Structure 1
Amino acid sequence: NTHIIGYYIIKRNFRKAVEELVNTVYPNESDMAKEARERASEGDIKAALELMPKSLKHERIVLSHLLRRPNDFIGAIRRLPLTTKRLFVQSYQSYIFNRILSLRLLRGISLRYPEEGDRVSLISRRGELRGAIVITSVNRKTFLKLINEGRATLVLPLIGYGYTPSGGLQGDIEREVLEIEGIDNTLFKIQEMPELSLKGGVRPSIFAPLDIQIVAISEDDFHPGRLKLVLRFTLKKGLYATVVLRELMKPSSVFKAGF
């Protein structure tokens, strides 16, 4: 639920962000954790803190602050480690990216080859993205060739306060998703918590793991009679191993599989 917390931060509903973090009960949690969350949802912060397992450090940090300073939800969030706070907003940013990508796919628009109005980044020898060039009727054939040669890639926007809308059909998709979410890019400039502001950027629409290797195949420790596969692979900056594993495993329940 990290993206939901991020959504509430973006919308400046800091109370709801804290409640989402502290009050939400998860199926596989211990009975003590569930009871602690129930006490928190009832407003009994002291009891919630006493019951909350020490392993749930972020929840305890927030509850401890609220016990000292009731209703200071901004202060409670700011007490969390920077990486954790930023993860909330980045998760929501990634959620929007995924919605944009999914809608493009549903509309039957290629995730590999650009249309006019799309953006394409060149790929350096190190595999890093260079720039984001707008595709026109003049340069499209050139970039199609570069993509086929592995020297360029279609990129989609990571929405942030510095976001510039795409043109063409892609621009229509971005506007539709932002309208559905009820946000605009300026909300990513968070005056109340400047350290969480995100400028945005671009991310490849598709990617493949590099140097993928099968390390071992052996008996599964958790599922007797089954085998487990150990993989090793490399990803470029900003890409997630969980996405690769999810696509390989195709779990019936991404939640139960840990995604």
Structure 2
Amino acid sequence: MVHKLDSLIGISIYCTRTEGTGGKIRSSPDLFHVSEVLREKTLSMISSSGSYAVYKLKKSGIDTNHALSEIFRRYGLKLKALGLKDANATTEQYVCDTSTGRGISDITTNRYTLEKIGFVPKPITKKDMIGNKFKIKIEDADFAKISNFKDQDKILNFYGYQRFGSRRPVSHLVGKAILQKNFEIAIEVLLSFTSEYDLPENNKIRDMLKDKSNYPRVLNEIPPQMDVEILALKEFIDHGDSLKALRVIPLPLRRLFVEAFQSFIFNRTVSMAYDNSKELLQPLDSDVCFDKDDILGRYQNDPQQRLAIPLVGYSYSKKNRFDHEISQILAEEHVCPKDFFVKEMQEVSVEGGFRQAVMQCHNFSVYQSYLSFTLSRGSYATILLREIIKPSNPVVAGL
């Protein structure tokens, strides 16, 4: 039996049979380390001369989006990250200037440092990143059970809690409303959806926001960490237009809403396929796969190929062995592939694609109560840890 929070993000199964170790993670950011791993070819391109400055961003206690927003606000430097890292961790990642020039000098604050490491001829992108290297301490756990865990190569590649909102899984609900062209509902959900796992003071604010007549009064009571809600609420108060209120939200976050709903469908698809006893660990004839260079193609009986499962978008093709599950889920959610093209907000439209079915976990090791491992780009350490810990409450466990 999975936790209710798992079900809310589309996960209804465990894919390993080991007994959970119990315990928790992230009681302090310095007990959860993550650093990005770039391709050797990309690293070799970084030099003392070039068009675009590349930086290493080290941070703790602030997420990537807020760190980059603060850097832009303070220094006018617009940077693009290869991946998003959350606040409750100690992280190292690469960011690249979006315009040509010499960049700026190094920055040091109490929550992050920005160090210029060189230049590249063209901006680096997420395709230049192989994955992420982790070192994580599991506290209050059964160490013997941690040491005995050997199923790291059998973990299904679910999207993790952070994709949806760890304490308040709402991003996909906003995305769904956008796809259904119900922009009023999208704003209402963003502002007033409450979660039993969220902080009481946050739920109190959101309860008041369920009544639109409270909007002007509540605006001054919203804590600064709800910066997205403040932006949208101000715009709605000024113009009474839900679509305009959504548009003031930064584009990367608006895209994330739609992509979160796409991720929710993926999680449900994998869960349902597992329950239907479909082969997920290995590709079968005619399956779409990633090869060793992450290039998509049909299965060629190559042991290095990895099964890929569709990510639904407006170009989704039903010619795959998971369409039974996908079509059923879309019908239940009252969404169809063409809805992923949003005429009224085309910049958030999602074409679709594929995601590997199983995590690629390398260099897995256990030392004392620390786990070290490397995951391929886009995979979530919290999903691996969920299978190890099997928590009675993911929030309490720090997942």
TM-score computed with the length of structure 1 as normaliser: 0.80
1:103-147 deviation digits (Å, cap 9, x = unpaired): 1111111102234553222222xxxx21231x5xxxxxx52xx23
The question of 1:62 aligning with 2:217 is answered: no
C-alpha separation between the residues in 2 aligned to 1:76 and 1:132? 41
Identical aligned residues as a percent: 28
The question of 1:85 aligning with 2:250 is answered: no
The question of 1:245 aligning with 2:388 is answered: no
Selected match of 1:41 from 183, 199, 210: 210
CA 171–57 in structure 1, closer or farther in 2 if over 3 Å, else same: same
Q: How many residues align?
A: 229
1:170-205 deviation digits (Å, cap 9, x = unpaired): 232222222222211111111111121111111111
Structure 1 runs not aligned, ≥5 long: 136-141, 218-228
Q: How big is the alpha-carbon RMSD for the aligned residues of Structure 1 and Structure 2?
A: 2.1
The question of 1:171 aligning with 2:341 is answered: no
SS of the aligned residue for 2:228 comes to helix
Structure 2 runs not aligned, ≥5 long: 1-169
The match for 2:359 is 207
CA 234–195 in structure 1, closer or farther in 2 if over 3 Å, else same: farther
CA 132–181 in structure 1, closer or farther in 2 if over 3 Å, else same: farther
The question of 1:197 aligning with 2:349 is answered: yes
SS of the aligned residue for 2:281 comes to coil
CA 184–231 in structure 1, closer or farther in 2 if over 3 Å, else same: same
Equivalent residue letter for 2:357: S
Shift of 1:241: 2.8
Shift of 1:166: 2.8
C-alpha separation between the residues in 2 aligned to 1:28 and 1:103? 26
**C-alpha contact 1:118 1:170 (8 A) present in aligned 2:** no
Q: Whose relative contact order is higher, 1 or 2, with alpha carbons under 8 Å and at least 6 apart?
A: 2
Aligned runs of 1:5-16 on 2, under 5 Å? 5-16=174-185
**C-alpha contact 1:123 1:152 (8 A) present in aligned 2:** yes
C-alpha separation between the residues in 2 aligned to 1:27 and 1:177? 25
Q: Which has the higher helix share?
A: 1
SS of the aligned residue for 1:53 comes to coil
The match for 1:220 is none
**C-alpha contact 2:290 2:306 (8 A) present in aligned 1:** yes
The question of 1:103 aligning with 2:255 is answered: no
C-alpha separation between the residues in 2 aligned to 1:28 and 1:205? 29
C-alpha separation between the residues in 2 aligned to 1:205 and 1:31? 37
Aligned runs of 1:95-134 on 2, under 5 Å? 95-124=264-293, 129-133=294-298
